[in-house]
Homo-oligomer: A and B are copies of this chain.
Amino acid sequence: MQKNVSQSVIKRLPRYYRFLIDLEKNGVSRISSGGLAQKMGLTASQIRQDLNCFGGFGQQGYGYNVPELSSEIAEILGINRRVGAIIIGAGNLGRAISTHMSFEKLGFNLIGIFDKKEAITGQMVNGLPVRNISGLDEFCRSYKPKVAVLCIPQNQAEKTIKQLLKLGIKGFWNFSHYDFNEKFSDVPVENVHLSDSLMTFCYKIKENAEKN
């Protein structure tokens, strides 16, 4: 069924999902590749190609059933699960991520938050106590989280990553400036480089200003 799926396709899946859920909420039960293409600013061809990487979800002469398709994509993404996750770093960013994200709706179960600062140990964040990083080993042996969200400074990243890998962590949602590429190129990582995004934004603004 599943052909070789390119990174480009995978990156588009969450967006498809978002639009389909939105349609579903608005009571739309049926949509054609052309209709969805228009809404999303893509070509109908691309949508059909993308979806056909995973199977024939449509019907000739009819289009796609919205709830069916959205649930297929949820399945493909694997978000109907509850993979155990911990956040490392309970600074501004770590705390915001923990309260702002719907981990449970997106495939994860947030079970712990850690920081090295003694002062904030015990503080409650989104119903979870901030634990001291010194208890990380024991916690992992007991609760076996599978992934970690890195909200720590770059200079602490490498040491922490090594420790987490030893403790059975299988992937990283990386908000730090650390680049896994150099030393851990085979570990599954999804990077969120906010600084890069802000710089790209800066470029876009500048370009647009010069254009007009």
A→B interface (CB under 8 Å)? 10-11, 13-15, 17-19, 39-41, 76-79, 81, 83, 91-93, 95-97, 99-103, 106-108, 146-147, 170-171, 173, 177, 179, 181-182, 185, 188-190, 192-209
Closest-CB distance, A96 to chain B (whole angstroms):
3
Within 8 Å by CB of A192, from B78, B192, B202, lies: B192
Complex interface: chain B residues within 8 A of A188 (CB): 201, 204-205, 207-208
Complex: chain B residue closest to A154, CB-CB? B22
Q: Cβ of B41 and Cβ of A185 under 8 Å apart?
A: yes
Interface majority SS (helix, strand, loop, mixed), chain A = helix
Q: Cβ of A196 and Cβ of B100 under 8 Å apart?
A: no
Closest-CB distance, A123 to chain B (whole angstroms):
14
Complex interface: chain B residues within 8 A of A173 (CB): 197-198, 201
- The docked-state distance in angstroms from the alpha carbon of A14 to that of B99 is 28
Q: Cβ of A195 and Cβ of B96 under 8 Å apart?
A: no
Complex: chain B residue closest to A39, CB-CB? B182
Q: Cβ of A100 and Cβ of B92 under 8 Å apart?
A: yes
Q: Cβ of A196 and Cβ of B18 under 8 Å apart?
A: yes
Given A170-B208, A205-B146, A91-B83 contact (CB < 8 Å): no
- The docked-state distance in angstroms from the alpha carbon of A86 to that of B207 is 20
Given A77-B202, A181-B41, A190-B204, A196-B96 contact (CB < 8 Å): no
